[in-house]
Structure 1
Amino acid sequence: MIINRAFYRETAVTTLGIAVVLLIVMSMMNLTWLLGRVVRGGTSESVLYVLLGYQMLGKIDVLLPLAFYLGILLTLSRWYRDSEMTVLAACGIGLMHFLRPVMLIGLSLGVVVMVASFYTTPLTVRQIERVKVESSQRLEPDQVAPGVFTESARAGRIFYAERTRRDGGLEGVFVSSLEQGNQGVLVAKTGRPFTDAKTGDKFIALHDGTFYEGEPGAANYRILEFGVYNLRIEPKMIDEPLVPMEGLPNMSLLGQLGNPKASAELHWRLGKTVVLFVLALYAMVFAFTDMRRGRMSNFFVAIVIYFIYSNLLGIGETMLQSGSVPASVGLWWVHGGMGLAAVYLLRRRLQNLPLFTLPMRLKRA
């Protein structure tokens, strides 16, 4: 049917556009946060874009339901605004006709959301934790941020460099270490990390500097000037990262069904797909545009409904984790309540009745 094809095309394009915009906005927010960590020395610059990519991949199951919700809302709102829905209604095609196309699109997107929720997102969480652990336990020169004092994985050693060159070299290097009870300070004009070809040991070659050892004023205090000083970097064994609950595989969660947190995580993953279909019903309800009330009135209410739904899910997950709600109930009381409310409002919309009615006493007042 021509109308269905037009609806499919416009809804798909709008949903895709909104998803791209949301992804870009979220990418900018996460990039700002990661850059702050790099400046503070908490994250290596070399893994910045790796972490950003994993974080964006892990947001697919959250962004798609919202993009689909807004895509349906904006598509049908435009049709109402341009009187296309009025013409279709005169031809015997009402709002209920679009329920089937909406659900068909929802099924295809629901498969993507389910795969992302049960597989992609937990995998990205595990990879992010692994990258963080590997980055925090890398060799000291890899962690040096210009103008920031960086504590190395080796206790008692602090690195500082005024600038880093594009070729990996360092300028204005300061190294402080405590070895065998003696305080040592190295100051060099330049430095460059390298690996010994024979032993495979890691070093940083410091050029044109001064070595201060001991406590100033003590008899054993020494000051040595050097042309080249190879400072050995002792590697640290990389520990296995601690995987949070949201990063555990599905089978691991199923093996911990007695744990309220594991049950809450399973319900949360399943709920992301359910949310997509419930929001689709709300989009059909609030797509109606009354030009006398303005174009944005229903859109504002739709956004409020989304935040209410999201907050209720967050509250429900917290109650599940604390054991206040049985695992058999899960988050279904939230989905069921919001779903029934959506069906009720859709029914009133089809009957051309006001969505929200005031009690008679308030009307008389």
Structure 2
Amino acid sequence: MLFDSSVRRELWRSFVGTLVVLLTVVLTMVLIRMLSQATKGAFAASDVSLMLGYTLIGQAPMLVSLALFVSVVAVLSRFWRESEMVVWQVSGARQFSFLRPLVQMGWPVLLSVALLVLVARPWAQSQTQLLKERYEKRSDIARVQPGQFQSSSNGSRVFFIDSHSDGERVGKNVFMVLTQNGQEAIITAQEGQLETVKGQRYLNLMRGERTQTDLKTGEKVLSRFDSARILVGEAEQSEDGRPAARSASTLDLLASPAPDMQGELVWRIGMVWAALNMMLVGLGLASGNARRSGNWSLVSALLVFVIYFNLLSMTQTWVTNQQLGTWTSLLGVHGLLTLLALARIWWRDGGLVTLIRGRS
């Protein structure tokens, strides 16, 4: 009991500390990226906090798995360096004896990874896609922030307005640059108002002027108008109704034979299996030397983590391209690593020597 509780306590301390550090670093990086995307018009600036939360939910499974892996390697390596492992071994504990406290500590973490991957992450992806689609379906005038230059959804128009009014359908002091078919038009107007006619969206401009330039010849044409109407959007296209693979529920993935759906299913199941494998690999790789200050076991363990999770993404690509089957990729990659991790633990327990002595 003392052995189990001591190991679990050390693992929990290391896991929580590592997870907090990882979340802080990733939160800062994601926030910078979200702010950059918001300024480019990928989504509304008011949705930055929501997008940040949904992105963190999507990144959480890998962060939790990495924190669990690092905590196992760091704690057990410290046991070796400080000769605490020798004390446990003299007391009768072997490498396989650490499996019980690892499983007791790790099963809530593995359960959280499974819930995040199978339930929370698809929901977060669907909410992210919903926010982006809702923002894209807004009018060009509504997308423009007063006092800022911003491109339209298709990139052919650049807008600038001083202010909004009438529910963001009317813009004051409108400036537009239109580029199409080798012609560039610079339009200024005191006011612009959107209207929809037969599924087409038009911008009615009031009291302005238009300077049109032929980009090939440089010829310019200047005209003034009291009112003008410009097509700014077409009728929305109908969708096939099938959700994207990343935002589809796990039950939909299980029921769908589509390659992209099966590839996403392999990634989700593989992520949960990878968290378990990383815990076993951490037990097998943990080592330390009291005479050496560097912690090379942690460096090599992180290298294994990077290679393994890149391989996880590659298996998704292989299944999506129909180069591998669903269960073939799962058993061939994750099942093989489970066996190798257990074999490594058995070998470090002196399994081969014990087997030879038993036969002799």
Q: TM-score by structure 1 length?
A: 0.75
1:276-308 deviation line (CA, Å, top 9, x unaligned): 111111111222111334432111111111122
**Alpha-carbon offset, residue 147 of structure 1:** 4.0
SS of 2:18's equivalent in the other structure is: helix
Q: How does 1:143-158 map to 2 (within 5 A)?
A: 143-145=143-145, 146-151=147-152, 158=158
- The answer for unaligned runs of 5 or more in structure 1 is 194-203, 226-232, 354-365
Report what 2:182 is aligned to: none
Q: Which amino acid aligns with 2:187?
A: V
Q: 8 Å contact 1:41–1:148 — kept in the other structure? A: no
**Alpha-carbon offset, residue 69 of structure 1:** 0.6
Q: Which amino acid aligns with 2:317?
A: T
Q: Equivalents in 1 of 2:31, 2:328: separation in Å?
A: 38
Q: How does 1:3-14 map to 2 (within 5 A)?
A: 3-14=3-14
Report what 1:106 is aligned to: 106
Across the aligned residues of Structure 1 and Structure 2, the Cα RMSD in angstroms comes to: 4.1
Q: Which amino acid aligns with 2:21?
A: V
**Alpha-carbon offset, residue 344 of structure 1:** 2.1
324-333 vs 136-145, which moves further: 136-145
Report what 1:48 is aligned to: 48
1:75-105 deviation line (CA, Å, top 9, x unaligned): 2222222222222223333433221010122
Q: How does 1:163-178 map to 2 (within 5 A)?
A: 174-175=175-176
Q: How does 1:119-158 map to 2 (within 5 A)?
A: 119-145=119-145, 146-151=147-152, 158=158
Q: 1:16 to 1:219 in 2, by over 3 A?
A: closer
SS of 1:211's equivalent in the other structure is: strand
Q: Equivalents in 1 of 2:77, 2:222: separation in Å?
A: 82
1:167-208 deviation line (CA, Å, top 9, x unaligned): x9x997524689xxxx783355xx999xxxxxxxxxx9x9xx
Q: Equivalents in 1 of 2:220, 2:288: separation in Å?
A: 84
Report what 2:75 is aligned to: 75
**Alpha-carbon offset, residue 18 of structure 1:** 1.6
Q: 8 Å contact 1:187–1:211 — kept in the other structure? A: yes
Report what 2:117 is aligned to: 117
SS of 1:129's equivalent in the other structure is: helix
Report what 1:212 is aligned to: 209
Q: 1:48 to 1:342 in 2, by over 3 A?
A: same
Q: 8 Å contact 1:70–1:283 — kept in the other structure? A: yes
SS of 1:324's equivalent in the other structure is: coil
**Alpha-carbon offset, residue 215 of structure 1:** 6.3
Aligned residue pairs, count: 330
Q: Equivalents in 2 of 1:341, 1:219: separation in Å?
A: 74
**Alpha-carbon offset, residue 38 of structure 1:** 2.3
Q: Equivalents in 1 of 2:324, 2:245: separation in Å?
A: 18
- The answer for unaligned runs of 5 or more in structure 2 is 180-184, 194-202, 214-218, 353-360
Q: Equivalents in 2 of 1:219, 1:37: separation in Å?
A: 36
Q: Which amino acid aligns with 2:150?
A: F
Q: 1:79 to 1:149 in 2, by over 3 A?
A: same
Q: Equivalents in 2 of 1:213, 1:277: separation in Å?
A: 65
**Alpha-carbon offset, residue 6 of structure 1:** 2.6
Q: 8 Å contact 2:82–2:290 — kept in the other structure? A: no
**Alpha-carbon offset, residue 66 of structure 1:** 1.2
Report what 2:188 is aligned to: 186
SS of 1:221's equivalent in the other structure is: strand
Q: Which amino acid aligns with 2:320?
A: Q
Q: 1:176 to 1:309 in 2, by over 3 A?
A: closer
Q: 8 Å contact 2:161–2:173 — kept in the other structure? A: yes
311-320 vs 64-73, which moves further: 311-320
Q: 1:349 to 1:295 in 2, by over 3 A?
A: farther
Q: Which amino acid aligns with 1:186?
A: T
Q: 8 Å contact 1:268–1:331 — kept in the other structure? A: no
SS of 1:243's equivalent in the other structure is: coil
Q: 1:35 to 1:162 in 2, by over 3 A?
A: farther
Does residue 325 of structure 2 align to residue 323 of structure 1?
A: no
Q: 8 Å contact 1:267–1:331 — kept in the other structure? A: yes
SS of 2:187's equivalent in the other structure is: strand
**Alpha-carbon offset, residue 352 of structure 1:** 9.5
Report what 2:224 is aligned to: 222
SS of 1:185's equivalent in the other structure is: strand
Q: 8 Å contact 1:213–1:221 — kept in the other structure? A: yes
Q: TM-score by structure 2 length?
A: 0.76
Q: Which amino acid aligns with 1:276?
A: A
Q: 8 Å contact 2:42–2:132 — kept in the other structure? A: no
Q: 1:337 to 1:184 in 2, by over 3 A?
A: closer
Q: 8 Å contact 1:157–1:175 — kept in the other structure? A: yes
Report what 1:300 is aligned to: 299
Q: 8 Å contact 1:133–1:239 — kept in the other structure? A: no
Q: 1:40 to 1:96 in 2, by over 3 A?
A: same
Report what 2:251 is aligned to: 251
Report what 1:288 is aligned to: 287
